[in-house]
Amino acid sequence: MPKSARRRQLEQAVLLPLDWIEERTGIVGGVKYFLFRNVPRDINWMQTLGAATLTAFLVQATTGVFLAMYYKPDPENAYSSIQNITHDVTLGWLVRGMHKWGASVFIILMFLHMGRVFLFGAYKYPRELNWIVGVLLLATGLFEGLTGYLLPFDQTAYWATVVAININGTAPFVGPYLASLLRGGAEIGPDTLSRFYSLHMLLIPGALIGLIGLHLYLVVRLGVSSPPWSREAAGGEPEPEPPPAKTGLVQPRPRATSLRGRPD
């Protein structure tokens, strides 16, 4: 059924901003290629753990922006600002709960994703660099969780951070300097809280975004690996494509050919 002139005008009006961006940047075509690129036919739901981890990170980034609008990073007002978010701000309890429990979900999904990559052998050639980037992402994500744990500045957060900093301080050679750098002085105080807040909100998220961008680029460039039980992973021929569905139309019969290749 042909489209009406009004519908064509409406579609052109909707697509005009995307066409304008695509003509100048080419980003629309890149996003379309990323979303609709070819992947092996024998992948399963276990290959979606990476996308689930990315979704958890986006949820953390979004809820963190809203929490930063009301949070006050100083020892006198940090805990009261958290209570204000939880009890007084509209849907603040939901946003804070998503951010608090989402941090655990994000880290758990990273471990599951890396476990799947290891068991499937997807870290081998030519994806070694992507595995290294994933290890850096795991370490950076754990450090993000550590810096965020102090921000409520209650008794649990304070003493858990004391234990964490003291553990880092036992490292050989650089341990004492690292502990002093994290504390911002001889003991945990206002400088520690502001330092952890800046790390949690600025430095570590920037590093995570950069590493995630590199990780996704390598995934697109190198492709998705097949499960170890598939024919392609075992070095065999990939599974044949299914025959096209019959449409009910009469197909012309091919002419018979002789051994010489000429039609009889």
pLDDT in tens, 69-119: 999 999 999 999 999 999 999 999 999 999 999 999 999 999 999 999 999
The mean pLDDT value for 128-153 works out to: 96
Q: Say which amino acid occupies 251.
A: Q
pLDDT in tens, 27-72: 888 888 888 888 888 888 899 999 999 999 999 999 999 999 999 9
In three-state secondary structure terms, 68 is helix
pLDDT at 259: 47
Residue 211 pLDDT grade (very low, low, confident, very high; cuts 50, 70, 90)? very high
pLDDT at 237: 60
Residue 87 corresponds to which tokens in the numbers above?
């009890």
251, pLDDT greater than 70: no
Residue 241 pLDDT grade (very low, low, confident, very high; cuts 50, 70, 90)? low
| pTM for this model (two decimals) | 0.82
In three-state secondary structure terms, 67 is helix
Q: Say which amino acid occupies 133.
A: V
Which pairs from 205-209 meet CB under 8 Å and 24+ separation?
205/61, 205/64, 205/144, 207/140, 208/57, 208/137, 208/140, 208/141, 208/144
Half-sphere exposure of 49 (CA within 13 A, CB side): 19
The mean pLDDT value for 150-168 works out to: 94
Instruction: Give φ, ψ of 257 to 5 degrees.
Output: -120, 150
pLDDT at 242: 60
109 within 8 A of 49, measured Cβ to Cβ: yes
pLDDT at 245: 57
In three-state secondary structure terms, 263 is strand
- Locate tokens 């065999």: which residue? 236
